[in-house]
Amino acid sequence: MTILDKIVADKQKEVDLKKKLVPLKQLEQSILFERETISLIDQLKNSSSGIIAEHKRRSPSKAVINQQLNVQDVAKGYEEAGACGMSVLTDGKYFGGSLDDLLLARASCTLPLLRKEFIIDDYQIIEAKAHGADAILLIAAILDREVIKQFSELAQGLNINVLLEVHNEEELQKSIMPSLNMLGVNNRDLKTFKVSTQISKDLSDLIPDDFVKVSESGISSVAAIQDLKQYGYQGFLIGENFMKAPNPGESAKKFINELEK
C-alpha cells in the first residue's frame, strides 16, 4: 500500500464521519456558500508572476515545515506580496491543516483560495464552497475519468475553479474534458516523493492550449519559473519554499519582486 492509498483510505473514513455530523443541507446554509467566488484562472491569466502561494505546516515527505505561524498572518503576507492566489492545505492527519485554516484565510485576505485536499466525494466540494474556497484541487491519480467529470461539473455549477493535478501522460489523457480548463502538473512523484520540474516540461506539449497550465512542487528559484514559462506555464504553486522561512509573506514578496524585475 502506497502512502497515497493510505491517505485515501483514511480520507474515506473521515468523510463518512463528517457526513453524519454535518449534513449537506447545513453546509449549503452557510453564509459563505452564497458568496461570489473570485476566479483563480482569471488572476493567473492576467498576472506577470503567476504565483499561487501555499500554507502548509507539514507533509508526509518533509515532516514538519513550519508549525509556528498562524494562517491569518500568512494569508495577509501573501496578499501584500502580490501572490495571485493562496493554496490552503485542509488535510489534518498528514499535513496538519484544517477547514478552520480555510475560514481564517478567507477572513484575512481577498485572494482567490484553493482548497488543497484529497477530494474523493462530492460532499467535500460543497464543504469547500461553504468554507470560502474559490477553487479546488482534484487529483487524477486517485479518481477515474467519470468521477473527474462528475466532480468538475459540480464545481463548475458552483462557480468554483478546478485545478486538476496530473503526474504522467496517462493521467493527463483521461483528464481532458470540457468541464476543465486548468491543469496542474505535480513535479513530485507521489510514489517515491522525488521531485523534478522535468515532469512539467515533458507534459507541456500534451496539454491543450486553451488550458491554464500550472506547475506544482519543487519550485524554489526564479530561474526555474522563467524556464517553465517557456513551456507555456502561467501558474506556479509554491509552498515549502515560502513556509520554511520565518516570515512566508516576506519570503514571497522578495521572490515575486525578483521575478517581476
pLDDT in tens, 188-227: 876 677 889 999 999 999 999 999 999 999 899 999 999 9
We report the CATH number of the domain holding residue 231 as 3.20.20.70
* Residues 89 and 115 sit within 8 Å (Cβ to Cβ): no
Q: Which pTM value belongs to this model?
A: 0.96
- Which residues span the domain enclosing 179? 3-259
In this structure, what C-alpha cell is assigned to residue 3? 502512502
Find the catalytic residue in 79, 127, 165, 240.
165
Catalytic residue flag (residue 45): no
Find the catalytic residue in 11, 54, 79, 187.
54
Domain total for the chain?
1
Catalytic residue flag (residue 186): yes
Structure letter (DSSP) for residue 219? -
Q: Are strands 58-59 and 63-64 parallel, antiparallel or unpaired?
A: antiparallel
Q: Coil, helix or strand for 234?
A: strand
Catalytic residue flag (residue 47): no
Structure letter (DSSP) for residue 48? S
pLDDT in tens, 77-110: 999 999 999 999 999 999 999 999 999 999 999 9
Catalytic residue flag (residue 19): no
Find the catalytic residue in 116, 129, 213, 253.
116
Instruction: For residue 83, give every residue at least 6 positions away whose Cβ sits within 8 Å of its Cβ, in sequence order, or none.
Output: 49, 51, 52, 53, 111, 252, 256
What is the CA angle 108-113-117, rounded to 5? 120
Name the residue among 73, 100, 169, 89 with its Cα closest to residue 136.
89
CA 27/CA 92 separation, integer angstroms: 20
Catalytic residue flag (residue 217): yes
